[in-house]
């Protein structure tokens, strides 16, 4: 079975000396379009190739890795406009088409756009900026605390929208984000909460006791590396704390509180000192 828009392991059907053809089953032989053929490749051996489509839905193969695969979401550059729509650079020889019917705003050459890759009704790979048509507002198979991949989308009154695992919408609340975020940025995030309506609240930091222990260990190591002293405290600004440890002030305060109770550190209004063991 051939998975269009994904990597497949296919056997080399024939070698003409100039071109390689791969076994495509019901699709027939598939041309490897790379100008530089893989070293030592010969008939009967297998190759890991990405399968993409031509203008008529015919299949081609490449050993190059595209920036995004089928059903994925990506921030891609518009490199040309044509009669059928906008063409995006996605890392392989044939550009990715966003048909005019799949543009919810006018795309322009040299600009970037956030798109979802799909297979159209003629079995051709295409992309769409109508993300809401393909991305669900409600969580499925996700759980609180899960580590997820995020791609930043637009801002709302409450926070920043992000695409979760290419398939769901989630939100990062303004008062819990302490770093600049830009549209198209890729991040690792965590499911903070799945609300009663199955919508997703996100965090850029792990939540719960496991993360507190991790931050505590980082603080101890940083103290050891800095002669047992840090000019940070629970009175420091959220921005300073995030710049130093990449966590929210709440998580940081919990971590130093744990260390203080364990008598590993001494706290002042402006600093932390490592206690001698």
Q: Kindly list the averaged pLDDT for each block of 10 residues, start to end, along the chain of length 277.
A: 96 90 94 88 90 95 97 98 97 96 97 97 96 94 92 93 97 86 94 92 76 78 90 88 83 91 92 89
Is the Cα dihedral 185, 186, 188, 191 positive or negative? positive
Tokens at 172, concatenated: 């990062």
Task: Examine domains 147-203 and 209-274 and report if their fold is the same.
Answer: no
Is the Cα dihedral 256, 202, 182, 163 positive or negative? positive
**Predicted pLDDT at 43:** 85
Q: Which CATH architecture has domain 209-274?
A: Orthogonal Bundle (1.10)
Q: Which CATH architecture has domain 7-62?
A: Beta Barrel (2.40)
**Predicted pLDDT at 239:** 85
Terminal Cα distance for the chain, rounded: 63
**Predicted pLDDT at 205:** 80
- CATH code for the structural domain at 147-203: 2.40.50.140
Of 257, 273, 277, 276, nearest in space to 265 by CA: 273
Give every CB contact of residue 219 below 8 A, 6+ residues apart in sequence. Answer: 230, 245, 255, 256, 259, 265, 272
**Predicted pLDDT at 212:** 55
Distance (Å, whole) CA 170 – CA 203: 10
**Predicted pLDDT at 246:** 77
Of 114, 197, 126, nearest in space to 162 by CA: 114
Beta carbons of 220 and 255 less than 8 angstroms apart: no
Strands 30-32 and 59-62, by their bridges, are parallel
| Residue 86 to residues 92, 101, 107, 110, Cα–Cα distance (Å) | 16, 11, 7, 11
Tokens at 156, concatenated: 């709302």
**Predicted pLDDT at 11:** 95
Q: Helix 249-261 crosses helix 209-225 at what angle (to 10 degrees)? A: 70
Q: Where along the chain do its domains lie?
A: 7-62, 73-133, 147-203, 209-274
CATH class of the domain at 73-133: mainly beta
In terms of Cβ atoms closer than 10 Å to its own Cβ (0-12, 13-18, 19+), residue 112 is middle
């Amino acid at each position: 079975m051939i998975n269009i828009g994904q990597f497949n392991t296919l056997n080399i059907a024939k070698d003409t000396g100039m071109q390689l053809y791969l076994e495509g089953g019901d699709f027939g032989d598939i041309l490897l379009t790379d100008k530089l053929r893989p070293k030592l490749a010969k008939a009967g051996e297998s190759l890991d190739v990405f399968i993409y489509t031509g203008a008529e839905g015919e299949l081609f193969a490449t050993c190059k890795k595209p920036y995004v695969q089928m059903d994925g979401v990506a921030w891609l550059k518009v490199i040309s406009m044509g009669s059928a729509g906008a063409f995006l650079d996605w890392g392989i020889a044939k550009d990715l088409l966003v048909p005019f019917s799949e543009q919810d705003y006018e795309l322009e050459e040299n600009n970037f756009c956030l798109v979802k890759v799909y297979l159209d009704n003629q079995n051709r790979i295409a992309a769409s900026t109508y993300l809401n048509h393909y991305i669900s507002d409600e969580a499925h198979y996700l759980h609180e605390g899960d580590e997820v991949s995020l791609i930043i989308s637009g801002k709302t009154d409450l926070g920043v929208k992000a695409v979760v695992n290419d398939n769901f919408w989630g939100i990062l609340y303004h008062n819990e984000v302490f770093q600049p975020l830009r549209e198209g940025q890729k991040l690792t995030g965590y499911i903070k909460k799945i609300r009663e309506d199955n919508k997703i609240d996100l965090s850029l930091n792990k939540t719960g006791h496991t993360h507190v222990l991790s931050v505590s260990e980082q603080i101890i190591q940083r103290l050891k590396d800095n002669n047992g002293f840090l000019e940070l405290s629970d009175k420091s600004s959220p921005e300073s704390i995030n710049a130093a440890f990449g966590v929210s002030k709440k998580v940081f305060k919990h971590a130093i509180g744990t260390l203080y109770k364990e008598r590993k550190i001494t706290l002042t209004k402006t600093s932390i000192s490592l206690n001698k063991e």
